[in-house]
Chains A and B, each alone.
Chain A
């Protein structure tokens, strides 16, 4: 072992960066086993109903088309726990875009032409895709996503609200949103001697292997799933998605390897989306701004086949102290695609509503929005009464305000005019829970002086491979370039997904333990056997022991916007985020994740929306021309947009000390932008995104 200065925390460049920019890094659809076929899905074109018959004759007659798979001609599989994976299992069409057939062909072009030639006949039933506040089918579920109770009540929130001297009662809404990672969902599957190998674009191949084992009735050791490189997921690849089941099914059905890369236009209906949320927030406060009552009700939709409830009222259980509180989730099952995780599910839409309402309360009480939040910063977690392992929201607000230049702010709205343009600034807080899952890892000292770390982590573009190398090098006291990192393969020690901002904490914990154990064994400089000396770690027991602390990351977002009062165009001029997320392990990749989250939050605030087609079902905007993720011109260039963090040492997390950073960057951004738009204009905007039509309507008082 060599004594080195630890690289942990420094901006070590991505290990695979060169491979990615030179094209050497291979993604799921780029594996080409001999004899590979291509698949193309056939989505249902009715809003709801069932398949009466499939006429594949014209498709099968096309040159190159090998087969057309349907529920009628494929061998039965075991039903999956996740109903969205039960494709081609029966005739039900729960929503427009549900896959009803799969064409397999010698070329991609032939598969696409074949899919266009398949004729499916349907029996339709009346459909309803429209979420309304008074929908007669709405109900209160038992739980929201993440296992959170749907309802939490403390005290008498409505009574306290009615009695409060200062009251804010506001409704906010967030439309359906799509993850749209740059790499579409793709898989290449092949069967050889009873062993199924799948290269999948996934956020966690251990779970993909488990699902395939269940569906195809195989032992897990007969399945290998790799996800060496993944071009983004944002939650939409967090669990297995239909494409991987279809690729494996088609490969078994045809006896040849099959690649299925979902067409962009099929993603919205097939891989999950952020469900729309209709919020009502009621805040009661005394004249000094001290909260007396917090109420947040979040109404959302789910599909007819799966209950997924965006946990948008959960952050109100964490954020601010108040003697009375009520947080409630309601959901309406509709003839829509199944919603799922999208970056900071719950927190992103929920904090938009709560932090917009806090801004309204600041205005009502005449308090500075930063000071209002400081005043209501609780000592313990309001919902549970547990102490925070660390919080530091106040420090984020104060330091963020200092760096953003908040102190010079004139609080009056609507007074900074330059021709038709008004400018303003806004702030919002952010929070995201510290999640961690059991993980296993091994560390091996090799005779040549190198180390090998093995864990089935997934690098979805975040820099996980690099950071795990840093963690290992730090624990081993070795230089980073002597540590090899193997991830992205289900034959490696099993690991949880890259999601919930939990990957680095979960994997890093196991890697740290394995490396620390190995370092201990190497202390006496023992003779290494030829295969090296290996130490194993399994964090299940330590993780499942839980914590007496409430553990969350916090942050503060600041934005300056310009609003064109003629056209309704809103532009972000400046944005800053300051975060308390435990120990930051790689300054370079962490900054990228924070900024990426902020960019996505600007998209949520200003440009992104999906529309459920009331007449025909399904989402209307299904490509990147119609679904408006922000482009470069929408985002100010650094340093006008920047992220920073405080050095937070929290001893109650895990040996690595990180809280997770993948999601908190998005959480407060939309509210900060909306609050800035109010400061600019003096008008409240309560419906995202702030597109020209909505902004003009609000400015005209026609909301």
Chain B
């Protein structure tokens, strides 16, 4: 049996010391993904630092109306939080679209952002995978890749990031707050996950030993509406083929004062559709205009052999979601 050292940390400083920034160290929160990967031998930590006793399990409202969500707030608690449900329905809906009730009771806010891809080759030790074992190649490129990326991928890796929550947070301009060897810092959720490039083994911009302490969810403008819609192969307990989080604030004349769109299932990270956002800001959201903006956004897509369908699906899904937000 593979053995490892288990440390239960009382605070962030102790956790950081125990972790030490070493390759073989992992933080353990809900464990819903990490423990599975350990069973499969994909993750083989020599040190597990249990951070579940850290005081990071509350949602606090800041003076400007932003919500500071502790990294250890459980997915089910966050989805049910009254302020989240009222002001950020997309976040609540995204959480409830993910996993199962049992998993949401265990999974944490920070852990959700740090879950690994569900690419079947990443999870199978007998297969090449640059993300799991750099330099071995990408099996998905020629293998089975219907679920894989059409945007932001590289020759080294075509995996998607599986989180629903991250997509909704990206559309809400949320920020990840961290503490680490270099001190505290703030990273926009939309820039938290890396595109694979030549280093697919690095999912995020976190430095070794750096720990997520909270996610800051800024207050939306008055009158903002948001929603999350996920398309998958069955009605529950499946990862997104494509998902979209959208947030819209309209002026009195109906034109978009602010529009934010993020896609899931398309890329190695939540894909903020900034080009489409720019084209639509200040405009009335007509079907033609929305379609054109989304087509422009998705023109950069480079589908693989068997996932071309994602591009049209993403466009039609986002169009329906955006137009839905324009109607009372």
A contact set with B: CB distance below 8 Å: 45, 62-64, 107, 109-110, 112-113, 116, 420, 566-569, 571, 606-607, 611, 613-616, 620-622, 625-626, 628, 630-634, 689, 691-693, 696-697, 700
In the complex, what residues of B have CB within 8 A of residue A696's CB? 309, 312-313, 316
| Interface bits B103-119 vs A (CB < 8 Å: 1, else 0) | 00000000000000010
Alpha-carbon separation in the docked complex, A493 to B233 (Å)? 46
Are the CB atoms of A64 and B1 closer together than 8 Å? yes
Contact of A45 among B120, B126, B237, B320 (CB under 8 A): B126
25 contacts between A and B (CB under 8 A): A62-B1, A63-B1, A64-B1, A110-B1, A112-B39, A113-B1, A116-B125, A566-B316, A567-B317, A569-B231, A606-B234, A607-B234, A611-B146, A613-B144, A614-B142, A615-B142, A628-B233, A628-B234, A633-B235, A633-B236, A634-B236, A689-B233, A692-B309, A692-B313, A696-B309
Alpha-carbon separation in the docked complex, A621 to B236 (Å)? 17
In the complex, what residues of B have CB within 8 A of residue A621's CB? 120
| Interface bits B310-328 vs A (CB < 8 Å: 1, else 0) | 0011001101100000000
Alpha-carbon separation in the docked complex, A461 to B41 (Å)? 34
B94 contacts A by Cβ under 8 Å: no
In the complex, what residues of B have CB within 8 A of residue A622's CB? 120
Task: Give the residue name and chain of the B residue nearest to A691 (CB).
Answer: B233
In the complex, what residues of A have CB within 8 A of residue B320's CB? 420, 566-567
Are the CB atoms of B234 and A113 closer together than 8 Å? no
In the complex, what residues of B have CB within 8 A of residue A607's CB? 233-234
Are the CB atoms of B118 and A692 closer together than 8 Å? no
Task: Give the residue name and chain of the A residue nearest to B118 (CB).
Answer: A625
Contact of B139 among A616, A692, A697 (CB under 8 A): A616
Are the CB atoms of A566 and B317 closer together than 8 Å? yes
In the complex, what residues of A have CB within 8 A of residue B236's CB? 631-634
Are the CB atoms of B1 and A633 closer together than 8 Å? no
In the complex, what residues of B have CB within 8 A of residue A113's CB? 1-2
In the complex, what residues of B have CB within 8 A of residue A569's CB? 231
Are the CB atoms of A620 and B235 closer together than 8 Å? no
B139 → A minimal CB distance (Å): 6
Are the CB atoms of B1 and A628 closer together than 8 Å? no
Are the CB atoms of A692 and B241 closer together than 8 Å? yes
Task: Give the residue name and chain of the B residue nearest to A606 (CB).
Answer: B234
In the complex, what residues of B have CB within 8 A of residue A606's CB? 234
Q: A567-B316, A693-B241 are in contact. Are A613 and B143 (CB under 8 A)?
A: yes
Are the CB atoms of B233 and A692 closer together than 8 Å? yes
B contact set with A: CB distance below 8 Å: 1-2, 39, 41, 118, 120, 125-127, 139, 142-144, 146, 231-239, 241, 309, 312-313, 316-317, 319-320
In the complex, what residues of B have CB within 8 A of residue A625's CB? 118, 237-239
A466 → B minimal CB distance (Å): 31
A420 → B minimal CB distance (Å): 6
In the complex, what residues of A have CB within 8 A of residue B118's CB? 625-626
In the complex, what residues of A have CB within 8 A of residue B231's CB? 567-569, 692
Alpha-carbon separation in the docked complex, A303 to B241 (Å)? 32
Contact of B146 among A571, A616, A634, A693 (CB under 8 A): A693
Contact of B41 among A45, A116, A626, A630 (CB under 8 A): A116
Are the CB atoms of A631 and B237 closer together than 8 Å? yes
Task: Give the residue name and chain of the B residue nearest to A607 (CB).
Answer: B234
Are the CB atoms of B143 and A109 closer together than 8 Å? no
Contact of A631 among B1, B41, B143, B235 (CB under 8 A): B235
Alpha-carbon separation in the docked complex, A673 to B118 (Å)? 30
A401 → B minimal CB distance (Å): 27
Are the CB atoms of B2 and A631 closer together than 8 Å? no
In the complex, what residues of A have CB within 8 A of residue B143's CB? 613-616, 620
Q: A631-B234, A631-B236, A696-B312 are in contact. Are A620 and B144 (CB under 8 A)?
A: yes
Instruction: Report the 6 A-B pairs with minimum CB-CB distance, sorted nearest first.
Output: A45-B126, A633-B235, A633-B236, A693-B309, A620-B144, A607-B234
Are the CB atoms of A616 and B313 closer together than 8 Å? no
Alpha-carbon separation in the docked complex, A303 to B11 (Å)? 57
B325 → A minimal CB distance (Å): 14
Q: A116-B41, A615-B142, A634-B234 are in contact. Are A697 and B1 (CB under 8 A)?
A: no
Q: Which of B232, B235, B317 has the most CB of A within 10 A?
A: B235
In the complex, what residues of A have CB within 8 A of residue B126's CB? 45
Alpha-carbon separation in the docked complex, A425 to B237 (Å)? 27
Q: A620-B144, A692-B309, A693-B241 are in contact. List 18 more A-B contacts (CB 8 A).
A: A45-B126, A112-B39, A113-B2, A420-B320, A566-B317, A567-B231, A567-B316, A571-B235, A606-B234, A613-B144, A620-B143, A626-B118, A633-B235, A634-B234, A634-B235, A689-B233, A696-B316, A700-B312
Are the CB atoms of A633 and B234 closer together than 8 Å? yes
Alpha-carbon separation in the docked complex, A113 to B44 (Å)? 11
Alpha-carbon separation in the docked complex, A691 to B41 (Å)? 32
Are the CB atoms of B127 and A616 closer together than 8 Å? yes
A10 → B minimal CB distance (Å): 35
Q: A567-B316, A615-B142 are in contact. Are A620 and B1 (CB under 8 A)?
A: no
Alpha-carbon separation in the docked complex, A616 to B139 (Å)? 8
B31 → A minimal CB distance (Å): 16
In the complex, what residues of A have CB within 8 A of residue B241's CB? 692-693
Alpha-carbon separation in the docked complex, A639 to B24 (Å)? 54
Task: Give the residue name and chain of the B residue nearest to A419 (CB).
Answer: B320
Alpha-carbon separation in the docked complex, A64 to B120 (Å)? 30
Q: A116-B41, A634-B236 are in contact. Are A568 and B313 (CB under 8 A)?
A: yes
In the complex, what residues of A have CB within 8 A of residue B120's CB? 620-622, 626
Q: Which of A607, A634, A692 has the most CB of B within 10 A?
A: A692
In the complex, what residues of A have CB within 8 A of residue B319's CB? 566
Task: Give the residue name and chain of the A residue nearest to B41 (CB).
Answer: A116
Task: Give the residue name and chain of the A residue nearest to B142 (CB).
Answer: A615
Alpha-carbon separation in the docked complex, A569 to B233 (Å)? 8
In the complex, what residues of B have CB within 8 A of residue A614's CB? 142-143
Alpha-carbon separation in the docked complex, A631 to B103 (Å)? 15
In the complex, what residues of B have CB within 8 A of residue A628's CB? 233-234, 238
Alpha-carbon separation in the docked complex, A622 to B239 (Å)? 15
Q: Which of B146, B231, B239 has the most CB of A within 10 A?
A: B231
Alpha-carbon separation in the docked complex, A691 to B184 (Å)? 45
In the complex, what residues of B have CB within 8 A of residue A568's CB? 231, 313
Alpha-carbon separation in the docked complex, A692 to B146 (Å)? 12
Alpha-carbon separation in the docked complex, A624 to B118 (Å)? 12
B35 → A minimal CB distance (Å): 13
Task: Give the residue name and chain of the B residue nearest to A689 (CB).
Answer: B233
In the complex, what residues of B have CB within 8 A of residue A630's CB? 234
Alpha-carbon separation in the docked complex, A634 to B235 (Å)? 5
Alpha-carbon separation in the docked complex, A620 to B238 (Å)? 16
In the complex, what residues of B have CB within 8 A of residue A571's CB? 235
Alpha-carbon separation in the docked complex, A109 to B234 (Å)? 33
In the complex, what residues of B have CB within 8 A of residue A691's CB? 233
Alpha-carbon separation in the docked complex, A485 to B141 (Å)? 56
B264 → A minimal CB distance (Å): 14
Task: Give the residue name and chain of the B residue nearest to A112 (CB).
Answer: B39
Alpha-carbon separation in the docked complex, A692 to B317 (Å)? 11
Are the CB atoms of B313 and A693 closer together than 8 Å? yes
In the complex, what residues of B have CB within 8 A of residue A615's CB? 139, 142-143
A136 → B minimal CB distance (Å): 23
Task: Give the residue name and chain of the B residue nearest to A697 (CB).
Answer: B309
Task: Give the residue name and chain of the A residue nearest to B125 (CB).
Answer: A116
Alpha-carbon separation in the docked complex, A575 to B134 (Å)? 49
Task: Give the residue name and chain of the A residue nearest to B307 (CB).
Answer: A693
In the complex, what residues of A have CB within 8 A of residue B2's CB? 113
A570 → B minimal CB distance (Å): 10
Q: Which of B120, B125, B127, B146 has the most CB of A within 10 A?
A: B120
Alpha-carbon separation in the docked complex, A388 to B161 (Å)? 57
A687 → B minimal CB distance (Å): 13
B232 → A minimal CB distance (Å): 8
Alpha-carbon separation in the docked complex, A62 to B41 (Å)? 15
In the complex, what residues of A have CB within 8 A of residue B127's CB? 616
B294 → A minimal CB distance (Å): 12
Contact of A109 among B1, B237, B238, B239 (CB under 8 A): B1
Task: Give the residue name and chain of the B residue nearest to A107 (CB).
Answer: B1
Q: Which of A567, A606, A631 has the most CB of B within 10 A?
A: A567
